Amino acid sequence: MESISVKILVVDDDIAIANLISRFLKQKQYQVELANDGKTAREIFNYFRPDLVILDINLPDTLGYNLCQEMQNNNDVFILMLTSRTDVEDKKKGFLIGADDYLTKPFDLEELEFRVQAILRRRRLVKSENLNIIELGDLFINPHTREVKLKDENLIFTTLEFDLLYFLARNPNKVWRRDDLIANVWQNNYMGDNRIVDVHIGQIRRKIEIYPNNPQYITTIRGVGYKFNYIEET
């Protein structure tokens, strides 16, 4: 993905920081728009259709969490959360609603660039003959439309949740360590705690399992990792 073709929306209520990030990214040949509040961010998002949103959590008229969820529900967009909050629960909340990465203020512009490049290297949907529709029991996964259905009911997944579910489902009955899943789904670009895999597995289970605490599709192999079980139709 050439930087000249990548569109980035910067959302931060600190005008100085927003302008600094915008100027820096433009020097790197990205197309950049910026917003200082949620209302403006929504308007720009709808017509600009960015590939990546750099999103502050604390905005004057909304929380970045809310914007992240709205954007993820309407477009397969990458989200880099930008925040002064360092609490683990805040980061966990961001990942649960679909954020791809977190950067804590104050930050170095070179680190920002590295994280942007790392996020954009991910390929959520590579056109390939190997991307087949998966039907296992009552579960239907379409990688081309990124749809997931359970008993013909449409389920809403964040992009990371879909990527992780599809990877596991297309490699059934194999045990995967957390680091292996990060290497394949995040493609070695994630620099945080590998326990983030547990967060996403938990979210997926709540959506596809009848009994999330006693899952039939994705099971935990204690001390190792996770396995997607092939469910034969009866």
Beta-bridge partners for 220: 226
Q: Is residue 9 within 8 Å of 54, Cβ to Cβ?
A: yes
- Rounded to 5 degrees, φ, ψ at 31 are -85, 125
pLDDT score at 82: 86
pLDDT in tens, the chain (234 residues): 455 578 999 999 999 999 999 999 999 999 999 999 999 999 999 999 998 999 999 899 998 989 988 887 766 688 998 887 666 677 777 777 778 888 888 889 999 998 898 888 765 444 444 578 898 888 999 988 888 999 889 998 887 888 899 999 989 999 999 989 988 887 655 666 677 889 889 989 999 998 888 999 999 998 899 999 986 654
Count other C-beta atoms under 10 Å from residue 201's C-beta: 21
Sketch out the chain's domains with CATH numbers: 3-121 (3.40.50.2300), 134-228 (1.10.10.10)
pLDDT score at 206: 92
3-state secondary structure of 56: strand
pLDDT score at 152: 86
pLDDT score at 190: 60
